Every structure is written in structure tokens, then in C-alpha cells.
Amino acid sequence: MQRLIVLITTLMLAACSNPRQEVTVQLANQVLLPAHQQWQSRNAALLDSTRAWCSGDQPLASLKQAFHQTQSAWSRLQPLMVGPLSEGNRSWQVQFWPDKRNMVARQTEDLLNEFADLTQPQLEGASVVVQGLTAFEYVLFDEQAALTDNRGRYCPLLTGIARHQLTLSDEIVDLWQQPDGMLETLTSFPNGRYANAGEALGGILRVQVTGVDTLKKKLGTPMGRLNSGVPQPYQAEAWRSRHSTENLLASLTGAQAVWERVRSLVGDAKLVGDIDAAYKSVRDKLAALPAPLMNMVQDKANQPQLQSLYADLDALENLQQTDLARHLGIQIGFNANDGD
């Protein structure tokens, strides 16, 4: 820990003479790592709450609240997944979306039919479909599961998922903070991943733009934009818990946290104003949605409001992927969703 503190202090002092490195250091220390740590903390709280409910020491409402907080921390982290969480198929262990064939419900029930008293090794050996928050949400909110009447059936799974999530987040945060880990990689140049701060900043912005593009997909998919205009309400993220909008707002907050540090590098006042206004417009329109997203997409009267929101998200993505990248001289070029 002492070595880490000395390293961070030294790097922050050195970065003062290099604005891009200063911003990258700020992003690493004040945005990216804290978001990973908050996700880790929420996972720990979810495991505690799950154990408490399964032992009869906590009401179900408290467990649902702990789940919402964990889901929100995960959503905020998605535009900030630079490094280990975006590698090795790890993010699929947290959330399986889109679930086009109701695989979460089917595989969850199949797993519990196969293992009546599920153990942690059995869960670890199963598909990522049943290891993450999407399966947890199914058990917690779906009428088919009828959780309160089947506590004995589902508690081993819920506890196993919460433990898996905490173990995963512990691993990721450790990878961030260990010597030559992601924190050091984003603050000390050159290194094996980035030749300089500009490359690191480009990597962060590429992930952030991917996060904004994912917001478009999570809105556009249930709207039916990928299905000839036919609404797909059950393709809304978190449709069972009716928290799709809250998750979108959390992801927007994560993306905006990056912009708030990067804006100091932008010398074009109009571009700064345009991006600031785009974030505000998207946030205001998300917050103004009067009902859960899966309900809204099923009513044609809501289409103008949803289409306007989608257009604003598209404009925000283009401003950053094209105009901001050009202004900074950073090649973003593509995001991880291209080709989906």
C-alpha cells in the first residue's frame, strides 16, 4: 500500500507538466478505479443481504434494494470497463444481455433441476448465463420463480451468484492495484499497453463511446429498431425488475464522468457546449420517462418521446466519436459494438 501511495503521488506531480497525462491520471484515480471499487462494495453488500434473507433475518424488500444498488453500480461501470473486466469474457459473468431466447430462465431452472442442492463448484462449472445478475434478477422478480414460496430451492443459487460476483470483483480490483496493474498502466508511460498518455486516453474514450453506443442498443432493441419497428418489450434490460431506465441513467453517469475530466483538454468552446448540452438533454429525457421502459415501448403514443431520446443518444455518440476525437487528434475509429 505504501508503494502504491508513493507511486500515485509521484505520477500526479509528474503529470502536471503534461495535460493529457494529468487528465488520464485523474480518470484512473478518481473515476475508473473508484467505480470498480464501488461495484466491489455493492457485491459484498449483496452477498450479506442474500445470506440475511435466506436465513430469515431480513425482509425481501431489503434484498431487492441491495440488488438494485448492485445493478446500478454495474451499470455505471460499463462505460468505464478499461482493462481486465473487459477481457477474458468476464463481463458476461456479470450480465447476460440481450437474452433473445429466454435462456436465463430456462438454464436457471435446468441447473436447479439437475442439482437440487446446488454447490458453489457446480455453479462455477455452469454457463455464464446462470452466474450473473440477470439470473439473480430472474429468481428475485419473475413470477415463474415464486421466490417466497421456494426459498429452499433458490437460496443456494442466489447465495452462489452473489459469492461469484464478489469473488470476480475482488479479482478485478486486485488486478487494477497490483504492481504493473491497470492503475499503473494508465499513469506511467511508456508501458506494455500504451506508449504515451494520448494512447491511454484514446483507449478510455473508446470504451466510453462503446458505453454510449450500448445505451442506444438498450433503448433501441426493445423499441424494435432492430426488428422492423416491432416492439420487443422483453428485450429491455432489467425488464423483470422494471429498472431499465434507472440502469440507463447510471450508465450515462459513468460516461459523463469521463467527459467531465476530458473537457479541460478541449479548446473549442462550441464543442464543449454542444457535448454538455447533449448530456443534459439525454439525462433530462431519460428522467422524464413516465413508466418502465418495457411498458412504454408497447404503446405507440410513446414512440415520439422514445425516438427523440434515441436521436439525442445518437447525437451524443457522434459528437464524441467524431468531433471530439478529431479535435483531440485521437483515433477512436470503432467501438466494441461495431458489427453487432
Q: Tens-digit pLDDT profile for the chain (340 aa)?
A: 555 554 555 444 444 469 999 999 999 999 999 999 999 999 999 999 999 999 999 999 999 999 999 999 999 999 999 999 999 989 999 999 999 999 999 999 999 999 988 999 999 999 999 999 999 999 999 999 999 999 999 999 999 999 999 999 999 999 999 999 999 999 999 999 999 999 999 999 999 999 999 999 999 999 999 888 899 999 999 999 999 999 999 999 999 999 999 999 999 999 999 999 999 999 999 999 999 999 999 999 999 999 999 999 999 999 999 999 999 999 886 555 554 4
- Other CB atoms within a 10 A radius of the CB of residue 264 amount to 12
| Domains observed in the chain | 2-185 (1.20.1420.20), 197-328 (1.20.120)
SS3 98: coil
Burial class (CB in 10 A: 0-12, 13-18, 19+), 7: middle
Tell me the CA distances in angstroms from 273 to 213, 248, 259, 267, 332, one per residue in order: 21, 23, 12, 11, 21
- For the record, the C-alpha cell of 82 comes out as 478499461
- For the record, the C-alpha cell of 243 comes out as 429498472
Q: Are 51 and 166 in contact (CB under 8 A)?
A: no
pTM of the model: 0.92
- Other CB atoms within a 10 A radius of the CB of residue 224 amount to 16
Place of cell 462503446: 210
